[in-house]
Amino acid sequence: MNDEKIAQYGDELYNAWHACRTVAPLLQREPEITIDDAYRIQLRMVECRVQAGERIVGKKIGVTSKPVQDFLGVYQPDFGQLTSGMIYQEGETIDLGKLIQPKAEAELAFVLKRDLIGPGITAMDVISATDYVAPCFEIVDSRITDWKIKIQDTVADNASCGVFVIGNAHGDPRKLDIALAGMVLEKNGELFSTSVGAAVQGSPANAVAWLANTLGALGIPLRAGEVILSGSQSALVPIVDGDELVCSIGGLGSCRVKFAGRSAV
């Protein structure tokens, strides 16, 4: 795909995000689009957000667990960029009016104290380089109409990034078994799902190592201070006005998030 097309679709997705509207799947319109093309479109979309005043604060890994893969029909992980405009603090209410067709994921966030530069990064390297881990929610949000996505669509759309909330409970991954730690997700006071960290590529640390190595091959490091969202341990949770979600991770603590307003479509 030529540079003109890359810019066209990157700008289209940025404008869709800004206007809270959806666009037709890219793969329907460009059947020959490759995953490499899609990542170039993603970079253009994110560049538009940075030029508008945001900054890169981390990365996210998507489509890592079987429930999410089955829901989306996408069977390989991807990654996206986290920006300062996506951050909510625990205790804040997320405004659904600023999202389009949001769904929540419960997962483990890593905050780095040292750079991770692949290739050759192992799960133990990830643990060593991590300042702390925390329970978190990522609210994914697709700019593609009705979530009719293939891997190229979600990659181009910045891995369907919406917003995220990192819990106030912080833990040392050297003192936690993050692969075996159980997660309980409650919606409006009722049990929604249970899982363990091993649901994400055998361990959330494996997912972060995959990301470091994949980006390292592209010359992109994971930097000290960045937030890395390691991938959903839960099924995607539909959310509407008034919903409250709590995810609790054994030995670590919980993260709570509330929603208000209506999504745009």
Per-residue pLDDT tens for 214-257? 999 888 899 999 999 999 888 889 999 999 999 999 999 999 99
Other Cβ atoms closer than 10 A to 208 = 30
Provide the pLDDT for residue 132: 98
Element housing 39 (H / E): helix 35-51
Please compute the mean of the pLDDT values over residues 75-92 and round it to a whole number: 91
Give me the domains of the chain, ranges plus CATH numbers.
Answer: 3-260 (3.90.850.10)
Question: Does the pLDDT at position 87 exceed 80?
Answer: yes
Per-residue pLDDT tens for 19-58? 999 999 999 999 999 989 999 999 999 999 999 999 999 9
Per-residue pLDDT tens for 106-147? 999 999 999 999 999 999 999 999 999 999 999 999 999 999
Average pLDDT, the chain: 93
Provide the pLDDT for residue 234: 81
Other Cβ atoms closer than 10 A to 249 = 28
Alpha-carbon torsion (48, 49, 55, 57), positive or negative: negative
pTM: 0.93
Provide the pLDDT for residue 75: 61
Provide the pLDDT for residue 73: 67
Provide the pLDDT for residue 160: 94
Other Cβ atoms closer than 10 A to 93 = 12
Tell me: cis bond preceding 25? Omega within 30 of 0 counts.
no
Q: Which two tokens stand for residue 257?
A: 């998030």
Alpha-carbon torsion (69, 78, 255, 97), positive or negative: negative
Is residue 95 within 8 Å of 260, Cβ to Cβ?
Answer: yes
Distance (Å, whole) CA 98 – CA 39: 24
Is residue 37 within 8 Å of 2, Cβ to Cβ?
Answer: no
Phi-psi label, residue 188: left if phi above 0, alpha if psi -120 to 50, beta otherwise: left
Per-residue pLDDT tens for 158-200? 999 999 999 999 999 999 999 999 999 999 999 999 999 988 8
| Confidence tier at 9 by pLDDT (50, 70, 90) | very high
Question: Does the pLDDT at position 74 exceed 70?
Answer: no
User: Tokens 């996505």 map to which residue?
Assistant: 149
Distance (Å, whole) CA 107 – CA 134: 9
Question: Does the pLDDT at position 265 exceed 80?
Answer: no
Is residue 37 within 8 Å of 6, Cβ to Cβ?
Answer: yes
Is residue 57 within 8 Å of 82, Cβ to Cβ?
Answer: yes
